[in-house]
Amino acid sequence: MVKNHFRTAWRSLLKNKIFAGLNIIGLSVAFAIAILLSMAGFFDLSYDKFHTNSKDIYKVYSMWQNPKGSQVSVSHSVPLMPTIMGEVPGIKKATRHLQQEAVLTYGEKEINMDAIWVDADFFTMFTFPAIKGKMDNPLEKQSDIVITEKTAKMLFGDEEAIGKTVQILINGKDHPFTVGTVVENNPSQSTLDFEVAVRFEKEAHYLENKDEWGARYHDIYVQLVKDVAPSQFDVATRSLVNHNFKERIDNAKRDGAQPDADGLFYKFELLPFLDENFTTFRNGYVEVSRSNTYLVLGVAFLILFIACVNFVNMSIARSGERLKEIGMRKTLGAKRKQLFFQFWTESLLVFFFSISIGLLISMLLIDDFKTIFRTDVSFGLILSPVIILLFLLSILMITLIVGGYPALLLSKLGTIQSLKGKLDVSGKNRVRDALMVLQFGIAILMITGTLVLHSQLDFMRNKDLGFNKEQVLSFPLDGKKNSYDALELMRNELAGNPDILEISGADNNLGYGKDGSVSSSMFGFEYKNRVINTNYLTVDYDYVETLDLKLVAGRNFSREFESDRSGAVINEAMAKEFGEKDPLTAYISFSDSLRFPVIGVVKDYHFENLDKTIAPITMMMSRDDDLYYAYVKVAPANLAKSYEAIKNAWARVSPNSKFLGSFLDENIDRTFRKEKRMTTMITSGAVLAIALSCIGLFAISLLIVNQRTKEIGVRKVIGASVSNITFLLTKDFLKLVGISFLIASPIAWWFMKEWLKNYPFKIDLSPLFFVTAGLLAGIIALFTVGSRTIRAAKQNPIKSLRTE
């Protein structure tokens, strides 16, 4: 019986090649895109789950109150971790974590690498499998380092890495370390990324900050004892806070800060390690959101849903051609159950071919997909037995629901009704109409999202950031040379080049450079019996001129005034913090005897991403702090030529360093990776949703035209024009699109409004976005239906009446 069902289903599909082909094409494309998007979603959700202890590991963060409200930070002081281990119960292991670049030297090789400075427990807490050397506790000795396979290859080639001695530049001097362990390369789904790991006690500022509670510059991770709740950490650390942060708490009370809901001014809390990749610290709160990932999976589901709706509608469209077949089968004794399984078998065949072709398409597109969406997805993510089982069960359910409805509709028809060949599906099928409304509603929702995302992205790209981003190139000051000396050598190398206008440096980059590094520094100080917090930036001469920052008061750092090395240039936001009528009377206080006067004020500029408001910033010229990035302003006429000149000059200044230069507009554009990924995804989904909807709409219009062939002929005979008949046949479809617009627009408005809340600088949510989306959907639907209806309206009425 089963064999007969499949043989009959195969013959039926061959007999109706157009409908079968449209179904298979639509479902195949939908399955291909759904598979790729699902892999991207599962890839994001799998971040850090490879660690054996991932569920027991937490990141420590602090929350404190000031007059402006709640503040949050993940930077901590050096003595905090040992104090936690000694005083807080329920902590099994803990490690400090600082990520920064380090220069490694082996023989003639000098390579700048991503280094982490961690405690001995790091490799017993986190799972980075060792493949060579010491396996149990790789950083037990402070003189040992851990490197990855990739690092071992770069440093030693085919030589044995274990036992080799390398030099690491710390505080301007080379220090010897022994390679004790080689671990596997970091997985793509790892939040913690490194090429070399060194004991935290060897970090450049460790000794000076060993007992200093005010200097905060690294992360802390803790592993809790089994069955210890993270909520207990806050209570357990309160005595620690009251003892070591008493002065800070007293200052907060003095300045008028209000306690939080627990009556506290300062506390420590824990963030689950598995949430770290989905967490942002903004506006004084910790926000954990997987919405972008769920959006990817949601788009995959919606595309597949639209394709399934098409299948239902096209199955109904074919039903009129099969009524007599059903009647004959019933006359010959076929039971309702047999008819149901016959039509369901056809659905299974269509889905089998569609899934097979969809998998093939996804395999062909995966490399392009990885490039466009900047992800390292692989089919291994969906090849686990659990996911395969869930996938098969999902397909079974989809075919039962999607293929079962048309099968049930056809199998329940009476014998006489079937033999007459009459099935009323022309305009009164509520299920069909509801599905079409839902289908086009989804399409309108995604079109609206595309328009809003594109507009917001263009707004951020074109916004005046307050500095010159088109003519300024930045690059890391890697290598062993002192950063100030390297910068001065660059000035000498490029002094005679008329295309080089200004050269300066700072300890932080603007946007994301090619090295992918970004950092920030903050500090607080006492000013007239209150605490002021500010971002801190170490700069060199000509920084303001290089970036074309606008001075609104005072002057810039000048070589003519030696005292400027003990001065500060601030932005307008910082000037407001002082609350002085003349900000040039203010000063930065490090102690009662050490004060740095404000010598200049620059107009506010966006030194952080555009999802943050402009915060106070203080620029100083401290030779005690290194510069990490050079900035070069070039003439607009010869950007490519200037780039090569800077690259060649750096090769002469630091021959062993890799040049990673990029213009600031490129750096800023890299900060929009999340927005660009979402925009590309939603745009692709919207195009595909409209294409799939049009396939289903075309099939339904074909059915309606066939059902009303006689009516068309009669109307033409009595004088109806082509335009009248076309309007008659298309108005019902346009009405459904109109209903879709009315339903989808409020939903789209709510979603877009909530999304735009993430940006302090954003576009206005104009009604034009929604009207444009509705018009686009209507025009596309009109063209889809019109191509068939106009042809029917032009047909000879005599032929129409005869064929009917």
Mean pLDDT is lowest, of 10-19, 285-294, 762-771, for: 10-19
According to the model, what pLDDT value does residue 254 have? 86
According to the model, what pLDDT value does residue 347 have? 75
pLDDT of 18 higher than 60: yes
**Token representation of residue 34:** 């759904």
pLDDT digits 0-9 by tens, 672-713: 887 888 788 788 888 887 887 777 777 677 666 666 666 666
**CA–CA gap between residue 589 and residue 586 (Å, rounded):** 10
**CA–CA gap between residue 619 and residue 624 (Å, rounded):** 14
pLDDT of 429 higher than 80: no
pLDDT of 420 higher than 70: no
According to the model, what pLDDT value does residue 304 have? 84
Mean pLDDT of the 784-798 span: 66
Name the packing angle between helices 336-373 and 291-319 (round to 10°): 140
pLDDT of 800 higher than 60: no
Q: Where are the extended beta strands (E) located within 603-719?
A: 617-620, 629-634, 662-663
- Residue of higher predicted confidence among 167 and 781: 167
pLDDT digits 0-9 by tens, 278-306: 888 876 778 888 888 888 888 888 888 88
Three-state SS across 724-750?
A: HHHHHHHHHHHHHHHHHHHHHHHHHHH
Q: Give the closest residue to 749 by CA, choosing from 757, 760, 737.
A: 757
pLDDT of 545 higher than 50: yes
According to the model, what pLDDT value does residue 176 have? 95
Q: Give the closest residue to 690 by CA, choosing from 449, 516, 473, 500.
A: 449
pLDDT digits 0-9 by tens, 240-267: 999 998 888 888 888 888 988 888 999 9
pLDDT of 550 higher than 50: yes
Q: CA 676 from chain center: how many Å?
A: 8
Contacts of 779 (CB under 8 A, 6+ apart): none
Please, how many CA atoms are within 13 Å of residue 128, restricted to the half-sphere of its CB? 31
Helix (H, G, I), strand (E, B), or coil: what is residue 148?
strand
Mean pLDDT of the 204-210 span: 90
Q: CA 137 from chain center: how many Å?
A: 35
pLDDT of 766 higher than 70: yes
Contacts of 546 (CB under 8 A, 6+ apart): 472, 502, 503, 504, 631, 632, 633
C-beta of residue 183 within 8 angstroms of C-beta of residue 146: yes
According to the model, what pLDDT value does residue 127 have? 95
pLDDT digits 0-9 by tens, 710-733: 666 666 666 666 667 677 767 777
pLDDT digits 0-9 by tens, 613-626: 888 999 999 877 88
According to the model, what pLDDT value does residue 426 have? 45
- What does DSSP say about strands 144-148 and 173-183: parallel, antiparallel, or unpaired? parallel
Q: What is the rounded (10 degree) CA torsion for 445, 449, 455, 457?
A: -170
In 10 A of CB 136, how many CB atoms?
9
pLDDT of 7 higher than 80: no
Please, how many CA atoms are within 13 Å of residue 519, restricted to the half-sphere of its CB? 21
pLDDT of 459 higher than 60: yes
pLDDT digits 0-9 by tens, 357-381: 988 998 888 888 888 777 787 776 6
According to the model, what pLDDT value does residue 37 have? 86
pLDDT digits 0-9 by tens, 57-75: 999 999 988 888 888 889 8
Residue written as tokens 């390679």? 179
Q: What is the rounded (10 degree) CA torsion for 578, 581, 585, 589?
A: -10
pLDDT of 480 higher than 60: yes
Contacts of 802 (CB under 8 A, 6+ apart): none
pLDDT of 385 higher than 80: no
Question: What are the C-alpha distances in Å from 727 to residues 116, 723, 774, 779, 790?
Answer: 69, 6, 19, 14, 9
**CA–CA gap between residue 302 and residue 308 (Å, rounded):** 10
**CA–CA gap between residue 444 and residue 732 (Å, rounded):** 18
According to the model, what pLDDT value does residue 743 have? 93
C-beta of residue 628 within 8 angstroms of C-beta of residue 513: no
Mean pLDDT of the 214-220 span: 87
**Token representation of residue 511:** 């946007």
C-beta of residue 287 within 8 angstroms of C-beta of residue 271: no
Q: Which ranges of 334-429 would DSSP assign to H, the alpha helix?
A: 336-373, 385-398, 404-411, 415-420
**CA–CA gap between residue 223 and residue 54 (Å, rounded):** 9
Start-to-end CA span in the chain (Å): 37
Most confident range (mean pLDDT) of 377-381, 663-667, 669-673 is: 663-667
- Residue of higher predicted confidence among 304 and 96: 96
Which residues is 84 bridged to in the sheet? Answer: none
Residue 342's pLDDT band (cuts 50, 70, 90): low
According to the model, what pLDDT value does residue 428 have? 42
Share of the chain above pLDDT 90, in %: 35
Q: What are the φ/ψ torsions at residue 570 (nearest 5 degrees)? A: -120, 170
Contacts of 549 (CB under 8 A, 6+ apart): 466, 467, 543, 602, 603, 605
pLDDT of 416 higher than 60: no
What is the b/e burial string over 58-92, where b = at least 16 CB atoms within 10 angstroms of the residue's CB?
A: bbbbbbbbbeeeebbebbbbbebbeebbeebeebb
Mean pLDDT is lowest, of 135-144, 185-194, 351-360, 595-604, for: 351-360
* Residue at 41: amino acid letter: G
Most confident range (mean pLDDT) of 2-6, 38-42, 118-122, 579-583 is: 118-122
Q: What is the mean pLDDT of the chain?
A: 83
According to the model, what pLDDT value does residue 425 have? 45
Q: Taking the CA atoms of the chain, what radius of gyration do you get in angstroms?
A: 34
According to the model, what pLDDT value does residue 320 have? 57
Residue written as tokens 């019902």? 732
C-beta of residue 617 within 8 angstroms of C-beta of residue 534: yes
Q: CA 682 from chain center: how many Å?
A: 13
Mean pLDDT of the 536-554 span: 93
According to the model, what pLDDT value does residue 693 have? 77
Mean pLDDT of the 529-556 span: 91
C-beta of residue 292 within 8 angstroms of C-beta of residue 7: no
Mean pLDDT of the 312-333 span: 61
Residue 89's pLDDT band (cuts 50, 70, 90): very high
According to the model, what pLDDT value does residue 269 have? 93
Mean pLDDT of the 332-336 span: 58
pLDDT of 505 higher than 60: yes
Residue 323's pLDDT band (cuts 50, 70, 90): low
pLDDT of 801 higher than 60: no
- Helix then strand then coil, % of the chain, to nearest 5: 50, 20, 30
